[in-house]
Amino acid sequence: MEKEQLIEIDESINAWLTTLDDIIPKLISDMVTTTKENMFDLVTNVDKAIQQNFELFLKEHYPSHQLFAEEKSNREVNAKEGHVWIMDPIDGTTNLVKQQEDYCIILGYFIEGEPVLSYIYDYPHGQLYKAVRGFGAYVNGQPLSSPEDIELKDAIISYNSLVINDETIQDLNDASFGYRCIGSCGLDSIRVIKGQFGAHVNTNPKPWDIAAQFLFASELGLKMTTLNNTKLDFSTGGPFIISNQACHASMLEILNSGNGYNK
């Protein structure tokens, strides 16, 4: 795609994201929460309205583009063909419901299976993270630089402690500097992208949880792989790590030692 076209799309997405600033406060004040597969699997009117709003935006401005998103059936979409937007309308819904903080909107734009534009919008803190293929990554328009190397012994690492077995957690604790988890795959990944965390692991993300991170990782020289150190398929998701170069190998070694990381 021509650079001018990419800039035009980026500007139009930025304008759409800005419209959310007027919509989200009202959606939150009228918040209605329902459950999906179990009592901890939450969805709100905020998730649904943001996704519907983006779907309408695409229909109006880019009718040939397809949407692959959490709160819809994606049966008709082949994520690896044509122009596809992968969206998590709210990543960190539990945080939205319980804390009204630490949630974000994730958007990844793929052309023929290649990521070209990515956004992670930390709405509560007014921080818009963006990556543009070939042109780097930014926060609120300011360039982000590649993180310095962080070895595991010096790194804060993040993962969901409910899904990893006690022995592996103990080994990770022993080998790292510390543990923190924000509870939003997008925002935990942003900590790695900014060089604050060494690594973030999610053992079962869906495409929308990780859609934006591919481009941030490639533009900033981070590692983003499966937990077997193979290429991650953006269209299916699956066990994933986004990591600083200097602690990726040690993280995977611990996760895969003994009987593995699963409970």
Binding-site residue ranges for Mg(2+): 70, 88, 90-91, 209
DSSP annotation of 124 reads: G
Per partner kind, with CB cut-offs from 5 to 8 A, the member of ligand NAP, Ca ion, none near residue 160 is: ligand NAP
Q: Is 160 in the site for ligand NAP (CB under 6 A)?
A: yes
Dihedral of the alpha carbons of 25, 26, 30, 34, in degrees to the nearest 10: -60
Phi, psi of 95 (to 5 degrees): -65, -40
219 binds, among ligand NAP, Ca ion, none (CB under 5 to 8 A by kind): none
Q: Output phi, psi for 52, to 5 deg.
A: -60, -40
Please answer whether residues 139 and 119 qualify as being in contact, where contact means their C-beta atoms are separated by less than 8 angstroms. no
- Least CB distance from residue 232 to ligand NAP, whole Å? 14
Asked if 147 and 194 touch (Cβ cutoff 8 Å), the reply is: yes
The residue length of the chain stands at: 263
Tell me: does residue 82 bind ligand NAP (CB under 6 A).
no
Which residues on adjacent β-strands are paired with residue 134? none
Going by the annotation, the residues of the binding site are 70, 88, 90-91, 209
The pair of three-digit structure tokens given for residue 17, joined into one six-digit string: 């994201």
Work out what residue 244 binds among ligand NAP, Ca ion, none; the CB cut-off runs from 5 to 8 Å by kind. Answer: none
If you write DSSP's letter for every residue of 73-112 in order, what string do you get?
Answer: --TT--TTSSEEEEEEEEE-HHHHHHHS-S-EEEEEEEET
From 209, 210, 214, 215, residue interacting with ligand NAP (rule: CB under 6 A): 209
CB 161 within 8 A of CB 173: no
Nearer CB in complex with ligand NAP: 146/225: 225
Q: Which residues bind Ca ion (CB under 5 A)?
A: 70, 88, 90-91, 209
Task: Confirm if 42 and 144 have CB atoms less than 8 A apart.
Answer: no
- Interface residue with ligand NAP among 45, 94, 165, 196 (CB under 6 A) is 94
Site residue total, ligand NAP (CB under 6 A): 17
**Stretch 107-146: interaction string toward ligand NAP, x if CB under 6 A:** ----------------------------------------
Scanning residues 186 to 205, which ones bind ligand NAP (CB under 6 A)?
202-205
> At closest approach, how far in Å is the CB of 160 from Ca ion?
12
The residue at minimum Cβ distance from Ca ion is: 91
Is 88 a binding residue for ligand NAP by CB under 6 A? The answer is: yes
Which among 219, 255, 250 is positioned nearest to 150, based on CA atoms?
A: 250
Nearer to Ca ion, 69 or 77 (CB): 69
